Chains A and B, each alone.
Chain A
Amino acid sequence: MSDFQVKSDAVDVDAIMRQIRARIREKRGTDYTEAEVQELAKVKLEQFLDPKGVRSDLVAQFRRTRTISPAPPKYDFEDDTIYETHRGLLRTIRRLLNPILKLFLNPNPIAAALHVQARVNEEFHQRFRQREDMDPLYYELVHNLALEVTRLGIEVHNMKMRVESVSSRIDFDERRSRALETVVQYKQARPPQQQRPQPQRQQDQRPQEPRPQPQAMNAPTATAPVASAPVAAMSLTSPAGDSTGDAAAVPMPASGSAPAGDRGDRPDGEGERRRRRRRRRRRPGQNMGDQQAGAGGGADGNGDDAGDDSSADMGSDSGTGSDSGTGPDSGNDAQ
């Protein structure tokens, strides 16, 4: 409901009524009076009832069979009808003798009853004639309504078919988009392998690079926890023999990443496994060059940190911080 602006103690009813009408006008678009609404409805109905719009011969058939009832006999009956005659003198005599007539009977109730009957007859005849005049209009209206309902029924059926078609296409597009999202994740995981420092290995990798595995179609969607995606991608795309090759390509971590006592005592096989694990944890998009750059800085622990960050940035809940601030980090934040 509205709040009316009352600016002072004195209220002008005319102003309030204008506000009320303005609000009503806002609500229903135009300030039509009831009479105007009726008029509009009438006009539309007349247009709708245009006989030219009827597309069959039903109305013509109706008109052929239509008969107009004859007018019933009418009569006017007033107080002085019983005295009327074309002879003026006789009428006067009858009037003069009226008191004598009233000695024998009272004509007033008869006159009143006949007057009422005449009015009733006239009124019913008018109503009946109006009804007859309206019959063709009703017939046309019903006929046009039937046509419209049929047309609308067909249209509704067509619309249902279209809705089903659109729905199935949407389902298909959705399945397709999920599959494509998995492929995009796979592509993001590839560049580190292409920038490996040993060209020989790159050539070995290349024929297997674009091959999507059937399992990839069933990979988790983009909304699924992505922390496992690199692992899945690695497992799907890296042949078993590559791990050793990659491990050989990865430089030895600098001091600081592991306890100093372990570094010299540990045998080469154990160090190799640790490097392999570190490689597996490496985030997609981070290449060996990045790791080397980190290592060049003299901090082997940076590489480990970066790997942890990447898993966090990809959407896992580990949330170990964002020290690296690399490109993939910011890109994932934008998502």
Chain B
Amino acid sequence: MKIAIVVQRYGTEINGGAELHARYVAERLSRHASVEVLTTCAKDYLTWKNEWPSGEETVNGIRVRRFPVTRPRNTDDFGRRSALVFERQHSLADELAWLDSEGPKSPALIRHIEQVRDEFDFFLFFSARYYHAWHGARAVPGKAILVPTAERDPAVGLHLFGPVFRGVRALMYNSFEERDLIHGVSGNQAVPGVVVGVGSAIPERTQPWRFRKKFNVKRPFAIYIGRIDENKGCPALFDHFINYAANYPRGLDLILLGKAVIPIPSHPRIRAVGFVSEEDKFDALAAADLLVMPSQFESLSMVALEAWALGKPVLVNGACDVLRGQTLRANGGLCYESFEEFAEAMYCLEASGPIGAILGRQGREFFKRHYAWPVIEKKYLDMFDRLKRDSSVRPAEPWPGWWERRKRTLPPARQIVDKVPAGPVLR
């Protein structure tokens, strides 16, 4: 079996998001099939500037073929088009222009997919919202498997994604909430789909004392791992934590791992150690009492899974359906929606607290049951087998004509998403 994985960026330097997800899947599936990665030369997801050379290379034993991006992203243009399609009545042409503006626009990549369509059994497209996934899935609908990694943001409500969600062979969802969201906006219940998620490269052994010694950490602490950004809910986390520290002088400290995009408040109990290696990250996670996830928009929190894998409970923002549902299903942490809940939950989840260890243990069992690599691999392989057995391909939906595409009759995408019921899926 030969699998092509198509993703917007690819490389060991990218350590988060759908790109890391794609790399993990590629490396794990390479044990069962011949895997080749098709991607762009871009490294920065904001500019899509070509930073890697085009052509072939091998990354961790996986053959990677890169194609250049024709133009970097114009932020102003993209913002203007986003405002149009998200907030106002618009046309399909406007959405297509938005997709081009978002990037990474790489017609060479799409042409290559069309050329090599017969060489591969399946094409796994990661991140439905980007140019490569939309055009690629339309180029090879009979072999396209989509890993949407969709969040509850207006983009998923754009009209142009409906035919893709309904036209691919299968979808590999990250969570039940994501599946319900896509079902809600596109009505693609008939398309085979399975909630898979992703595993992680959990080290065999961690050394929490090493992290404590290296960074001179003496007190018990809660940890945040990820980009320190407003979109990740960090300002609210800082507010809650400063309030908590004032009320509980003997409580936990907060340690931040990751690149800081926004200023971090100067507080004796908040410490940012910056971007660290994977080894340090797992050591820090093992040394922490709990992991905090303040983000409101997540399709799947890999770091939460990693915390569970190490037997650590998580404290997540209850306003995020995915995180809330994931936590409730795992019984591996608590949720908060206000400062009072945050403070009470912090107390509960301390290592010396009443339930922190139990929730961490339950989280670890949940991870082993659903997110261990053998489980993930089996779900992918089962889906490939199923699609091979069922060779019937749905006919592609007719594409609107030139005039129809320019009629500004489509409702704002945000309206579409808002109509889909929210909330965690408990099952």
- Chain A residues in contact with chain B, CB under 8 A? 1-4, 6, 9-14, 16-17, 20-21, 23-24, 27-28, 33-34, 112, 115-116, 119
Is B77 an interface position by the 8 A CB rule?
yes
Instruction: State whether A23 touches B331 (Cβ < 8 A).
Output: no
- Given known pairs A11-B331, A20-B348, the reply for A4 and B341 (CB within 8 Å) is no
- Given known pairs A10-B362, A13-B359, the reply for A4 and B338 (CB within 8 Å) is no
> In the complex, which residue of chain A has the Cβ closest to the Cβ of B355?
A11
Which one, A6, A10, A27, contacts B354 given CB within 8 A?
A6
Residue among A1, A21, A27, A33 with the most chain B CB within 10 A?
A: A1
Q: Could you list some 24 contacts between A and B, CB below 8 A?
A: A1-B344, A2-B344, A2-B347, A6-B354, A6-B358, A9-B361, A10-B362, A11-B331, A11-B355, A11-B358, A13-B328, A13-B331, A13-B359, A17-B341, A20-B345, A21-B341, A24-B341, A33-B337, A33-B338, A112-B76, A115-B80, A116-B76, A116-B80, A119-B83
Q: Which residues of A contact B303 (CB under 8 A)?
A: none
Which one, A16, A34, A112, contacts B334 given CB within 8 A?
A16
Question: Shortest beta-carbon distance, B60 to chain A, in Å?
Answer: 36
Give A208 to B366 CA distance when docked, in angstroms: 98
**Which residues of B from 28 to 79 have beta carbons under 8 Å from A?**
76-77
Q: Which residues of A contact B331 (CB under 8 A)?
A: 10-13
Instruction: State whether B359 touches A11 (Cβ < 8 A).
Output: yes
- Given known pairs A4-B354, A11-B359, the reply for A27 and B335 (CB within 8 Å) is no
Is B327 an interface position by the 8 A CB rule?
yes
Which one, A17, A28, A112, A119, contacts B77 given CB within 8 A?
A112
Is B333 an interface position by the 8 A CB rule?
yes
Give A11 to B338 CA distance when docked, in angstroms: 22
Is B153 an interface position by the 8 A CB rule?
no
Question: Shortest beta-carbon distance, B269 to chain A, in Å?
Answer: 18
Q: Which residues of B contact A11 (CB under 8 A)?
A: 331, 355, 358-359, 362
Q: Which residues of B contact A115 (CB under 8 A)?
A: 80
- Chain B residues in contact with chain A, CB under 8 A? 76-77, 80, 83, 327-328, 331-335, 337-338, 340-341, 344-345, 347-348, 354-355, 358-359, 361-362
**Nearest 4 CB-CB pairings of A with B:** A24-B340, A20-B344, A11-B358, A1-B347
Which one, A3, A9, A17, A27, contacts B358 given CB within 8 A?
A9
Question: Shortest beta-carbon distance, A39 to chain B, in Å?
Answer: 15
Which one, B77, B337, B348, B361, contacts A4 given CB within 8 A?
B348
Give A120 to B131 CA distance when docked, in angstroms: 29
Instruction: State whether A3 touches B334 (Cβ < 8 A).
Output: no
Q: Which residues of A contact B327 (CB under 8 A)?
A: 13
> In the complex, which residue of chain A has the Cβ closest to the Cβ of B345?
A20
Q: Which residues of A contact B358 (CB under 8 A)?
A: 6, 9-11
Q: Which residues of A contact B359 (CB under 8 A)?
A: 11, 13
Q: Which residues of B contact A12 (CB under 8 A)?
A: 331
Question: Shortest beta-carbon distance, B310 to chain A, in Å?
Answer: 18
Give A84 to B333 CA distance when docked, in angstroms: 58
Question: Shortest beta-carbon distance, A254 to chain B, in Å?
Answer: 77
Instruction: State whether A16 touches B355 (Cβ < 8 A).
Output: yes
> In the complex, which residue of chain A has the Cβ closest to the Cβ of B332?
A13
Question: Shortest beta-carbon distance, B390 to chain A, in Å?
Answer: 38
Question: Shortest beta-carbon distance, B284 to chain A, in Å?
Answer: 24
Give A112 to B345 CA distance when docked, in angstroms: 48
- Given known pairs A10-B362, A24-B341, the reply for A17 and B80 (CB within 8 Å) is no
Residue among A2, A14, A17, A23 with the most chain B CB within 10 A?
A: A17
Which one, A16, A33, A116, contacts B348 given CB within 8 A?
A16
Question: Shortest beta-carbon distance, A23 to chain B, in Å?
Answer: 6
> In the complex, which residue of chain A has the Cβ closest to the Cβ of B340?
A24
> In the complex, which residue of chain A has the Cβ closest to the Cβ of B338?
A34
Give A10 to B357 CA distance when docked, in angstroms: 11
Instruction: State whether B80 touches A23 (Cβ < 8 A).
Output: no
Question: Shortest beta-carbon distance, B240 to chain A, in Å?
Answer: 12
Give A215 to B347 CA distance when docked, in angstroms: 68
